[in-house]
Amino acid sequence: MRLAWLSLLNRRMTVGLTILSIACSVMLLLGVERVRQESRESFLSTVSGTDLVVGARSGGPQLLLQAVFNIGFPTQNLSRVSYAMVGEDRRVQWIIPLSMGDMHRGYRVVGTTTAFRDHYRFARDQGLQLAQGNWFADEHQAVLGADVARELDYSLGQSIVVSHGAGEISFVHHDEHPFRVSGVLAPTGTPVDRAVLVSLAGVDAMHADFVGAAEHEYDVTDPLAAAMAAAAVRQASHDHDHSDDHDHVHDEHCNHGHHEGTGSLSAMLVGLTDRAAALSVQRMINTYDGEALTAVMPGVALQELWSVLGVVERVLLFLGGFVVVVGLLGMLSNLLSTLDQRRREMAILRSVGARPRHLLALLVAESFWVSAIGAIVGLVLLSAVMLIGAPILEAHYGLHFALTWPTTNEWALLAAIVLTGTLVGLIPGWRASRQALVDGLTPRI
């Protein structure tokens, strides 16, 4: 309705502010929705290609977070025997072993094999690429994730020392076994960007050296640690199938639930020849007698994770929705408060033949325009913010945001907002038509 449009233009200042407030609320709501979707997709893309995640007995989401997303450390290990057992299964195509427990200046050090390079997939079947240098060839070389190299400003050939333990700040360093940076990975948008990859042999060697040098120090300075270590040894000798003395000695001093000698791993990612076999392989691993293992399908574990995080998401969405309601209430108050000033205008329209329902339609049309423009401006604002903010989010949280056309879900949200806004217009519309009936052709102001 052109009349509505012109009437709004006439009050462009206050209407503009109303539109802005609706736009901001729409931006917030869509932003929450988009972060939700993108983070899901980002998580899903991180495990793309992996059919099963295997670790010591624990909950699915927990295992997934530890093994794939580098959040938290496994408290228990799995042995090489299990690794071999899974590897022997003919349905298994590849295994990426993961050994965690050490850090380098706040970044996680992950011991693995070249299987990581060959089989790790992210974001719809993309493989890892080196930005510079080569993969680790021996136990003295390390490959840096893109973020690690950038933030620490490391280049090829740099010598790095790994700290023992999972904390960001550790007082025990593996000074005796430094690594040399042999390569830097291209950015992936996954937690790999924030990891230091070394060979399993490197992890073993590092801890072997550590044992020789630090044993004495440990025992003297920290009796509690020694006592705990002793307790751990007793448990370890029950649970684990250790083969040589060296491992026992080692285990005594670094019970972080990680690698030892040629023995245990933190977790492994498994790829199958046939994805349909995932369920039966999972059952096989979960019921393995030799060790308490858990195998989870990443998709299923993620679903579990979302169902936990779902509450937070719903709260955020609810808040976003609430802000939109506040925006629409702002529009309502604006329309209602100007109604008094517009009584003359309404009376004129009445005198030239407008019926009460025309006035109703006028105000509904106005609120339609305001909410529709608000929704569109909100969408544009969101796109602008994402264009500016995406690199920052990607750098800090590894969340990858592409500037995409709104999904059907978002369209539905937008449509709901515009519809609600239009319906809100019924309130001032109804008032205007009531008022017009009382005022007649000459408003008594």
Nearest by Cα to 421 from 340, 359, 378, 366:
366
Query: x/- string (CB under 8 A) for other proteins, residues 200-239?
Result: ----------------------------------------
Q: Which is nearer to other proteins, 8 or 268 (CB)?
A: 8
Q: Does 345 bind other proteins (CB under 8 A)?
A: yes
User: What do you get for the CA distance between the two ends of the chain, in Å?
Assistant: 28
Pick the closer one to other proteins by CB: 6 or 388.
6
Task: Determine if 307 is a binding residue for other proteins (CB under 8 A).
Answer: no
User: What mask, x for binding other proteins by CB under 8 A, covers residues 379 to 418?
Assistant: ----------------------------------------
**Closer CB to other proteins, residue 6 or residue 220?**
6
Q: How far is the CB of 2 from other proteins (least distance, A)?
A: 9
Q: Where are the alpha helices (DSSP H) in 222-289?
A: 223-239, 245-253, 278-286
104 contacts 163 by C-beta, under 8 angstroms: yes
**How far, in Å, CA of 168 to CA of 120, rounded?**
26
What is the C-alpha separation between 128 and 88, in angstroms, rounded? 26
349 binds other proteins (CB under 8 A): yes
**Binding marks (x or -) toward other proteins, 353..372, rule CB under 8 A?**
xxxx-x--------------
Among 57, 283, 344, 434, binds other proteins (CB under 8 A): 344
Pick the closer one to other proteins by CB: 16 or 406.
Answer: 16
CA pair distance 391, 395, nearest whole angstrom: 6
Q: Which is nearer to other proteins, 1 or 427 (CB)?
A: 1
283 binds other proteins (CB under 8 A): no
> E strands within 57-178?
92-104, 107-112, 121-122, 126-127, 130-133, 141-144, 159-160, 163-164
The β-bridge relationship of strands 159-160 and 126-127 is unpaired
What kind and span of H or E run contains 141? strand 141-144
What lies within 8 Å, CB to CB, of 2 at 6+ separation is none
Judged by CB under 8 A, the residue of 80, 140, 240, 350 near other proteins is 350
Using left for φ > 0, alpha for ψ between -120 and 50, and beta otherwise, residue 89 falls in beta
Q: Which residue in the set 352, 388, 396, 405 belongs to the binding site for other proteins (CB under 8 A)?
A: 352
Contacts with other proteins in 133-162 (CB under 8 A)?
none
Considering only 17, 312, 348, 415, the residue that binds other proteins (CB under 8 A) is: 348
* Rounded distance between C-alpha atoms, residue 107 and residue 196, angstroms: 7
Look up residue 255 and give its DSSP letter.
-
Of 95, 105, 74, 135, residue with least CA distance to 259: 74
Say whether 362 sits in a helix, a strand or coil.
helix
Q: Is 14 in the site for other proteins (CB under 8 A)?
A: no
Kindly state the smallest distance separating residue 422's Cβ from other proteins, in Å.
Answer: 21
Give min distance, CB of 7 to other proteins, in A. 6
- If one asks whether residue 276 binds other proteins (CB under 8 A), the answer comes out as no
Residue 303: left if φ>0, alpha if ψ -120 to 50, beta else—which one? alpha
Considering CB under 8 A, how many residues would be counted as binding other proteins?
Answer: 21
Q: What residue ranges bind other proteins (CB under 8 A)?
A: 3, 6-7, 9-10, 344-345, 348-356, 358, 437, 440-442
